[in-house]
Amino acid sequence: MGAHNRSSKYGLYTGGPDPLAPPVDLAEALDAIAEDVMAGYSPRHALQEFLRRGGRNREGLDELAGRVQQRRKDLLSRHGLDGTLNEVKKLLDTAVLAERKQLARDAGMDNTDRVFREMQLQNLPTSTAAAVNELASYDWQSGSAREAYERIKDLLGREVLDQRFAGMKQALESATDEDRAAVSGMLRDLNELLDKHRRGEDTDADFQEFMARHGSFFPENPQSVEELVDALAQRAAAAQRLLQSMSAEQRDELMSLSAQAFGSPQLMAQLDQLDSSLRALRPGEDWTGSERFEGQEGLGLGDGTGVLQDIGELDELAEQLSQSYNGSRLDDLDLDALARQLGQDAAVSAQTLAGIERAMQDGGYLQRGTDGDLRLSPQAMRRLGRTLLRDTAKQLSSRQGNRDTRAAGAAGEQTGSSREWQFGDTEPWDVTRTITNAIHRTIAEGDDPGRGLHLGVRDIEVTETEARTRAAVVLLVDVSFSMAAEGRWVPMKRTALALHHLLSTRFRGDRLALITFGRYAQSMDIDGLTALPPLREQGTNLHHGLLLANRFFRQHPSMQPTLLVVTDGEPTAHLLAEGESWFSWPPEPETIRVTVAELDRLGRAGTQVTFFRLGDDPGLERFVARMARRVGGRVVAPDAADLGAAVVGEYLRAHFRGTYNNADWAS
């Protein structure tokens, strides 16, 4: 094939969302949001908090807002507004000094005329504007002095135009009379177009004709008269705020000097007409604000207007980043403005945060419940449960080591015996017995096992198993206020989620009930428990919780009852006959009596009971130890961070007598 004489040009993709952009990673966001939800925040508030904090390697809204405020502060502290006045004063001083030197050198000049001129130069007003205006009709004797004075007019003309049209100061440097005439013609046509637009009489053809004639003055390349008005009004409003940010003396000086712009009073009249039209067309712009500049770096009128535009843009970004207005979404963020003010990295961070917000709300991780509030969806709960279960597996592996026997898929519990393999057996091999059989057979046949070992069907033995009884499991969790006050609220919820995910995905034959007990006890689904806010009511009504557990076990009579109790306090409440909760601290004997009686009923039904004691309260330690002894149960005292591993480990121990492989059930 011959070479193609063509070239390719590459740039940023501008046809919508970047099809090659990496997908948004929701794992960190979902974990953080779920953690806040479990701590008691609403899902919407939790999402907003994550977006404000950001991720491990990503700026959040608060950090971006802080950078916006710092840039605003830097602009005000670095700059002053006397740049144009200082430039004019320097040119004036240059002109006056050159003229005095010329008068001193000109010996042929009439002495009276020289004295008069010197007196006029000597007695110029201290006001720069008044001095410039007084010399407007002066007949300069020095060519360099005349040139310096004319540069004042040129500078003022370019500055007042640069206030309304960014870049005009540089574009008109060393401008010719034809250039100035072109500007005047543009202003005349622009005022006519805006006047027609105010009356509603303009057409698209009018705009296209104007742009064809004067488009070089508008690098923003507006596509309609509305876009043109937007750009001009923003700049004009910033120019007005600049004047109002000056001292009264500075403002009076500049207003007086403006008459000398290009030596043409008509220019200011045209600009005044333009400002009037823009105010009428865009009254919502900030035409009355002001700022306090405190720096030493003097700004000209055009540059100062640009800084005021930057400050206005920063203020808009600050409002967008606050997300404090009704219906706010991160899609409202002006990414182009953010990139201009803070750099492309800030825009990328904001775009990523917006993607997370969209994915969470539009991707099915948050959904509205029947009450209208946002909730974690079942999809989000499954993903969260899977993550928590994986973390629990790692904790168990580090505590107990990997076990040899596979739990998932096993026909039942191992009995410790083995037997010869038969066709159709699915039990795991007894590897030790199988290899031993092969060695014995090889030796009996006169072969040397050192030369290689060949397995035969008769060598294989499998472990004997017995059918595993399905379990009815109750996770009974304390939701008294001390659980939240001592930092155990979220670990308790994480534990419930991990156990729920394990049973719903790996042990579907078992049944799980989640029961909370505070002043009262109640059965809850996993969604309700996850969203449960910390309760401030007093009471640890274990009696009521055991009543509900007993009811659940009676509903599943063919299953092995397993009770897992998580608590950080002695019982301080019990249920009265009429259904009211009786609270007392310290615990009353009646509370202890009815609680123990209900536990005894569970023990007589063969319930496997494990207490998970949180904290080091001596009274609680004595109480749970005695309770466990009454029913042949166990007591585990984990740290809050290890609660999930402890509960899941006990559940698995009850099924597999302590032999399980974490990788099987957590994958």
| pLDDT above 70 as % of the chain | 85
Q: In this structure, are 585 and 608 located in the same domain?
A: yes
Shared domain for 121 and 226, answered yes or no, is yes
- What is the chain's mean pLDDT, rounded? 83
Instruction: Report the CATH number that the domain containing residue 511 is assigned in CATH.
Output: 3.40.50.410
State residue 40's pLDDT score: 65
Q: 638: closest CA among 482, 503, 488?
A: 488
Query: Same domain, yes or no, for 355 and 450?
Result: no
Verify that 233 and 326 share a domain, yes or no.
Answer: no
Residue 372 has a pLDDT of 57
Is 307 within the bounds of a domain? Answer: no
Q: Provide long-range contacts, Cβ within 8 A and 24+ apart, for 330-334.
A: 330/51, 330/61, 330/354, 330/357, 331/357, 331/358
Asked whether residue 16 is domain-assigned, the answer is: no
User: Could you list the residue range(s) of the whole structural domain that residue 495 is in?
Assistant: 471-666
Within this chain, do residues 611 and 645 fall inside the same structural domain, yes or no?
Answer: yes
The mean-pLDDT minimum among 199-208, 297-306, 386-395, 643-652 falls in 386-395
Those residues whose C-beta lies under 8 Å from the C-beta of residue 346, and which sit 6 or more positions away, are 59, 64, 67, 338, 339
pLDDT of residue 401: 41
Using alpha carbons only, give the angle 553, 396, 474 rounded to the nearest 5 degrees.
Answer: 10
Same domain for 526 and 578?
yes
The answer to the question of residue 4 being in a domain is no
Domain end point (choices 292, 323, 340)? 292
Does some domain include residue 423? yes
- pLDDT, tens digit, 9 for 90 and up, residues 125-184: 999 999 999 998 999 999 999 999 999 988 888 888 888 888 888 888 877 888 888 989
Residue 144 lies in a domain: yes
Domain final position from 235, 260, 292 = 292
Regarding whether 120 and 90 lie in a shared domain, the answer is yes
- The confidence band for 314, taking pLDDT boundaries of 50, 70 and 90, is very high
Q: Is pLDDT of 8 > 80?
A: no
Check residue 641 and give its pLDDT: 82
Among 241, 258, 292, residue at a domain's last position: 292
Question: Band of the pLDDT at 398, cuts 50, 70, 90?
Answer: low
**Any domain includes 297:** no
**Do 459 and 550 fall into the same domain?**
no
Same domain, 206 and 166: yes
Bigger pLDDT: 622 vs 407:
622
- Give pLDDT tens digits for 464-516: 655 456 889 999 999 888 888 888 888 888 888 888 888 887 788 889 999 99
- The confidence band for 63, taking pLDDT boundaries of 50, 70 and 90, is very high
Is residue 388, in this structure, part of any structural domain at all?
A: no
Q: Is residue 18 part of a domain?
A: no
CA distance 575 to 545: 10
Identify which has the larger pLDDT, 281 or 528. Answer: 281
| 402-431 tens-digit pLDDT | 333 333 333 455 556 777 877 656 667 888
Domain count, the chain: 4
Residues 509 and 626 in one domain: yes
pTM (predicted TM-score): 0.64
- Where b means 16+ CB within 10 Å and e means fewer, 218-247 reads beeebeebeebbbbbbbbbbbbbbbbebbe
Q: State the pLDDT at residue 233.
A: 94
pLDDT tens across 354-375, in order?
A: 888 887 777 667 766 665 566 6
Same structural domain, 221 and 357: no
One domain, residues 91 and 73: no
Tell me what the mean pLDDT of segment 346-352 comes to: 88
Residue 259 tokens, joined: 């008459």
